Amino acid sequence: MERVEVRTQVEFDAAVKAGNIAVCISGYFEARGSSHVVAWGSSHVVAWGSSHVVAWGSSHVEARGNVFIRLFSCLKIQAGIHVLIMDHGSNESKITGGKTVKAFKPKTALQWCTHWGVKVEKKIAILFKGLNKNNNSPRGFSYTPGTIPTAPDWDGGKKECGGGLHFSPVPKMTNQYCSEPPDKYMACPVALKDIVVHPNGLYPDKIKARGCCAPVWECDEDGNKI
């Protein structure tokens, strides 16, 4: 599954048909069935059926049916009685209808790992990275099996992005951060003490760390060692 930017309904429909996440930049869109939508900027999304919508910026979302909305920031949400809204932000969005639930925000490395179901033993978490055939990340950093990758630009965790290495809780979740489907996955042992959590970050499903604490190894999409 890839994130595809769309600006027209035709582009939106094509992205959904291909099984991708439609990132709506601006304009008016209708999402039906099992669509997965990310609403950015000034986009206006009308979601029906069992759609999944992630709302950002000044977007406007109308939801009916068994729709699930992840709310980070949004000008307005109009929801039917069975719409579930997971509020991830401290925003002032105008919400009408639906059922709003405050999302849990992990503050420590252990809380984050527990929240995402990450295996932790002896204070070491097994995290994952999606790579190309040359064992490089989308940004060109090497994760060759048997090596211990560490960030040359570690900033102590000050920024959410950059200044460190980033990992996902399961292999398949690395796909959305790769411009193309990964050729392989790497399992990465990371010490909890080297992980920094950003509770209000834009990407709560990935984590930043100083680096690995032991050699990495290749695995399949289910995390099994190859």
Q: Is 19 helix (H, G, I), strand (E, B) or coil?
A: coil
Phi and psi at residue 221, to the nearest 5°: -70, -10
Sign of CA dihedral 11, 55, 46, 26: negative
d(C-alpha 18, C-alpha 16), whole Å: 5
Domain boundaries, the chain: 3-102, 109-219
pLDDT at 90 > cutoff 70: no
Rounded mean pLDDT, 103-126: 95
Token pair, residue 221, equals 């999409």
Compute the residue count for the chain: 226
pTM, full prediction:
0.73
pLDDT at 1: 65
pLDDT at 22: 87
Sign of CA dihedral 52, 40, 201, 154: positive
pLDDT at 116 > cutoff 80: yes
d(C-alpha 190, C-alpha 205), whole Å: 16
pLDDT at 15: 87
Which tens digit of pLDDT belongs to each residue from 60-76?
Answer: 899 989 999 988 888 88
